Each structure stands twice: as C-alpha cells, then as structure tokens.
A and B are shown apart, each in its own frame.
Chain A
Amino acid sequence: MSLAEDRVIRASARNGWLLSTPALVLLFVAAAGPLLIMLVYSFLTPGQYGNVVGEFSWDGWVGILWSQDIFSGEWVLADAHMTIFWRSLSLSMMTTLFTFVVGFPTAWFIATRPASQRAMWLFLITIPFWTNLLIRTYAINEVLRKEGLVNMILLKLGVIDVPLEMLYGPFAIFVGMTYVYLPLMVLPLFAAIDRFDMNLLEAGYDLYASRMQVLRRVILPIVKPGIIAGSILVFVPSLGAYVTPRVLGGGKQMMIGNFIDLQFGQGRNWPLGAALSMALLVIVMVALLVYVRYASRDGSKSHG
C-alpha cells in the first residue's frame, strides 16, 4: 500500500469518527453512561429516605432472590420476588407464543397479496406500532372492562349472563401485551416470508407433500430467522414492560418493570432497584447475543 493511499484511508476513518462524535457524546451522557452509575449504585447501601449512602454492600444483589427477616435478621428466599419473576417470565413467553400463532398467518397473508396492495397492508400493521403505547393500552382497557365491548357482545349473544371481570390481572396484561407487541412479530416475519421462494411450495406439492408437511418441512425451517427475530423483538420489551402491567394489572399484579419502579418509590431500596435493573439488562443482552450468534451463523450457511 502506498503512503498516499494509507493517508487517505486514515483521513477517512478520522472523519468518520469526528462526524459520529456528537451522537456518541449524547448517547454516552444520556443512555449508556448512566448504566455505569447504576452499576455502582447496586453495590451501595440504601439511605433512610431513598437514594443511597456511600457504603459498600452486596445486599442489593442478594436482595434479588433473598430477603432479610425483620426480626431475626435471617436471609430467606423471597417468595414474593419469585412470584413476580415467574409472572414476568410466563406472561412474556405466552405473549411471544401467541403473537407468533396469530402473527404468522397475518405475515403470510400480507406477503402473498398482489404487489400493489402489499404496501397498504403493511402500513395498516405499522400504524398501531407507531401509535402511542399508552393509548393502545387504554383502548384495551376500554374493550375489556365490565361495560366494555367484549362483555357487551357476549351479553347480547347470550353467552354469559353477568359481565366477566377481565380487567386487573394476568389475563388483561397478557391481552394488552399481545395487542401492543403484535406488530413487532409480524414485521420481521413478513420480511422473511417476502424473501421466500414460492416455487419451493410447488416443488413440495409435486412431491405429494400435504399442506401441513409443506408448512412444517419447507416453510417454517426457511423463515426461521424471521421467527427468531420476531420472538426476540416481542420477548425483550414484554419482559421489561412497565406501562401495560401498570394500567391493566391494577397495581397488585406487578411485573419486573413495576417491581423496579417500586424500589425507587415506596420501597426506598435504590440498590435493590439498581441490581434488579442490571439483572434485567443482562438477561436482555444474553437474549440479543444468542440472536446475533444465531443470525450470523444462519446467514453464512446456505439452505438446501
């Protein structure tokens, strides 16, 4: 490589860094940097009225799974915390599964529309995605409540005699999360199906495969990267959900997000809140890493 060429390349890299610097500074100050401070806070001691005092302690991290008995000072496994973790995990998994079950046919439907209509159907999926999450959650609240649409219809049809109590519980949270995160499943699924070669279906049917066999043996393996992308995109925000469980869970049915909030409010245990946040972050990062690993391995390997 000539000296001049080398200099040009180095100048190009320098300009790249210089142009990116303002964005990087802003992101470091108000997005990535605060996480480091929070990590420090998770190793400190709670102050009496919230905040922390500068004394090292493991209690924040230990407190994720164990809680200290007020009288004996003994550490025991915290059942209440387990309930919240299990609720978060199971609701997030159910949401992911259900959005896939209804999202896959939807994505397939959009991808098989004539090219002129496809953009319109996609736009219809995208609108709710960009619509205020709080408004969509409130809309679900309106549909599920005692005098809401679902009860009204069921009463009219004579299916039930008394309105169902659907609000403020795991069921309402599940419905709400499925509703708000569904577009996140449909969009990557659509992207994967859109690239799918429909001639493969013909080949499958020519070889006497049934529809079920074609779906299981041909379609699903090929669109797998889309399935994984959609699942991660739904699972990650579900696990960290805050607004939906707060509005539809009625305060008592907390998920991890609300539990973290509680530590910074009434709980007055900032180190525990910080440790819980870091733990949630680690779980999310592991999920994303698994996805990146899988996606890059899948990309380098050709099908067939």
Chain B
Amino acid sequence: MVRASFSVARLPGFASTAILVFVALYLPIFTLVAYSFNASQSVAVWGGFSLDWYAKAWANQQVKEATVRSLVIAVSAAGIATTVATMAALGTTRRRAFKGQTFIYVMINQPLMVPEIVTAVALLILFGIIKQATGIQGLGYVILAHSAFCIPFAYLPIRARLEGMDLTLETAAADLYATPWQTFRRVTLPLLAPGIVAGAMLAFVISLDDVVITEFVKSGGQDTLPTYMLGQLRRQLTPEMNAISAMLLALTLVLLTAFFLLTRKKD
C-alpha cells in the first residue's frame, strides 16, 4: 500500500507549484484577451461582449500603417537574416574545425549576449552619424538593425538541422557525377528546407516583437506596432489596446505552432 503510492520522482509540493505557475503564466494573457471583447469604454468595467474594439483598431489609420510597417520590416529582416544565416551555417558545420571558427560563433551569437538597450543606443549613435553625413532617411536603418539581431535566431535551427543530416546522401550524389552546385540544389537544400523555414519563422517573430531597438532606431513617423503600443501605454487606455494585442498574439501563436510542427522530431 505504502509502496504503491511512493514514487521516487515525486517531490512534495512540486506538482501543485508547477500547476500554479502554468495558471499564473496564462491567466494575465487570457484576461488581456477577454477584455478585448469588452463592450465598455473603460478597461476597468466589464460591459458585455462586443467586437467593437476590433473594428475600431481595424479602422485606426495609425494602427494600420504601423502594422504594414511592422510586416514590411519583419519580412525583409527575416529574409536577409535567414539568407546570410543559412550560408554561415553551411560554412561552420560539417567541416573540419578551422582557425577562427570560435570567433564566427561569438560574432553570430553576439546579439544574444549584449543587452538590447546597449545595442539600441549604440545604433542610435551610429545611424545618427550616417544620417547627418549622407542625409539618407528611410526604413532601411530599422531593417538593417533587425536583420543583424535576427541572425542568431535564424542560424540556430538551421545549424541544428544541418548537424542532424545524413552526409551519405550528398556523397552518393557526388558519386553519381552531380556537380557541387547540383548536389547543393537537389540534395542539400531540400533536406535543409524545414530548418530554413523554421529559422525564418523565428527571425520573423523576433523582428515583429522588437520594441527597444526599434524605439531608438526609428525616425519620426516610423512607428511599428510595438512602438506604437509603447507610446499608447502612457495614455488613458481603452480595450482597443487589448484588441491589437490579441491580434498580434494570434499571429505569433499561428507561427509558433507551425514552427513546433516543423521542428518536431519524428518518432
């Protein structure tokens, strides 16, 4: 009787703490989403179910522009970061360790180590100098900054995929007189594709979510959705804010689920 209930891996209070943690993790997000359906004018009082705030957010010109800008930046940055990260992953895996490889790893992971606020002000200084010298304005600065800090996020899943890949297939292709380019195009790339897509999606999500670096790098009138929201948080809030958050949450969730399915190990 006692033996049956005694599991070695069970520690008292651990399971209940864990359940509480999961509840605490999701309750605020659920509350946020629930209040986006609030008919009341204030975020404080529940006034019944309504989709008005979604309609309002949808009709808000500033929100619309910020959304489009966020998507343009995220697509461009994810595209650039994934391309260079794929090349770097091909260059740093499946070959004999070479001199300077550690330096390349450190450089690629550098954005993960430096606090965002530090990179943000450093870019503010650099781009300030360039803008003054050349007079060139535009979204390019934000895209450049995003491309750089997205690289490690794109690199890691691609490298993981490459390391798990079967080398013999490429050797076989070479044995069958395929040129290196043909081997890459017809064998390596299709096998690597899930890793590349996964990397691109992570880069996209990271770019879409960025607040700090964007806030410092953007010029006037270049608000992305997160920097627009940060600006709004200073004012009197309406459930419109919740509606925007809920839509952004939904987009992230869709991308993450796709990422999860893509990288899942087949049993």
Given the known A-B contacts A22-B84, A38-B125, A126-B256, are A31 and B14 also in contact in the complex, defined by CB atoms under 8 Å? no
B107 touches A19 (CB 8 A): no
Given the known A-B contacts A23-B88, A26-B148, are A281 and B115 also in contact in the complex, defined by CB atoms under 8 Å? yes
Contacts of A179 in B (CB 8 A): 24-25, 28
Given the known A-B contacts A27-B111, A138-B233, are A105 and B149 also in contact in the complex, defined by CB atoms under 8 Å? no
Which of B89-97, B166-174, B191-199 touches A? Answer: B89-97
Interface size classification for chain A = 35 or more
Contacting residue for A284 out of B113, B121, B129, CB 8 A: B113
Contacts of B22 in A (CB 8 A): 106, 124
Closest B residue to A183 by beta carbon equals B25
B252 touches A132 (CB 8 A): yes
Closest A residue to B264 by beta carbon equals A119
Given the known A-B contacts A30-B148, A38-B121, A277-B118, are A136 and B108 also in contact in the complex, defined by CB atoms under 8 Å? no
| B221 interface residue per 8 A CB criterion | no
Main secondary structure of the interface of A (DSSP, over half): helix
Contacts of B113 in A (CB 8 A): 236, 284-285, 288
Contacting residue for A13 out of B88, B98, B125, B226, CB 8 A: B98
A123–B249 alpha-carbon span in the complex (Å): 15
A284–B15 alpha-carbon span in the complex (Å): 34
Contacts of B253 in A (CB 8 A): 127
A17–B8 alpha-carbon span in the complex (Å): 51
Which of A154-162, A238-246, A294-302 touches B? Answer: A238-246
B88 touches A147 (CB 8 A): no
A169–B211 alpha-carbon span in the complex (Å): 22
Main secondary structure of the interface of B (DSSP, over half): helix
| A91 interface residue per 8 A CB criterion | no
Contacts of B119 in A (CB 8 A): 31, 34-35
A15–B87 alpha-carbon span in the complex (Å): 10
Contacting residue for B29 out of A119, A139, A264, CB 8 A: A139
Contacting residue for B11 out of A35, A215, A261, CB 8 A: A215
| B117 interface residue per 8 A CB criterion | yes
Closest B residue to A108 by beta carbon equals B14
Closest A residue to B132 by beta carbon equals A51
Contacting residue for A277 out of B35, B92, B121, CB 8 A: B121
A143 touches B27 (CB 8 A): yes
| A90 interface residue per 8 A CB criterion | no
A102–B16 alpha-carbon span in the complex (Å): 11
Contact code string A92-115 (vs B, CB < 8 Å = 1, else 0): 000000000011011011101000
Which of A55-63, A65-73, A75-83, A198-206 touches B? Answer: A198-206
Closest A residue to B257 by beta carbon equals A123
Shortest B43–chain A CB gap in Å is 7
Given the known A-B contacts A109-B18, A123-B260, A202-B8, are A32 and B121 also in contact in the complex, defined by CB atoms under 8 Å? no
Contacts of A108 in B (CB 8 A): 11, 14, 18
A276–B246 alpha-carbon span in the complex (Å): 36
B226 touches A132 (CB 8 A): yes
Shortest B137–chain A CB gap in Å is 17
Q: Give A contacts to B, CB under 8 Å.
A: 9, 12-13, 15-20, 22-24, 26-35, 37-38, 41, 51, 102-103, 105-106, 108-110, 112, 119, 123-128, 130-136, 138-143, 145-147, 149, 179, 182, 198, 201-202, 205, 211, 215, 236-237, 239-240, 242-243, 246-247, 256-257, 260-261, 264, 270, 273-274, 277-278, 280-281, 284-285, 288
Can you sample 20 A-B contacts with CB below 8 Å? A16-B104, A17-B91, A22-B88, A23-B155, A24-B88, A27-B151, A29-B148, A30-B149, A31-B114, A32-B107, A105-B17, A127-B253, A131-B252, A132-B249, A142-B28, A179-B24, A198-B8, A243-B212, A257-B115, A260-B118
List the 8 closest pairs (A to B, CB-CB), nearest first. A240-B115, A19-B91, A109-B18, A13-B98, A34-B122, A30-B148, A139-B28, A147-B44
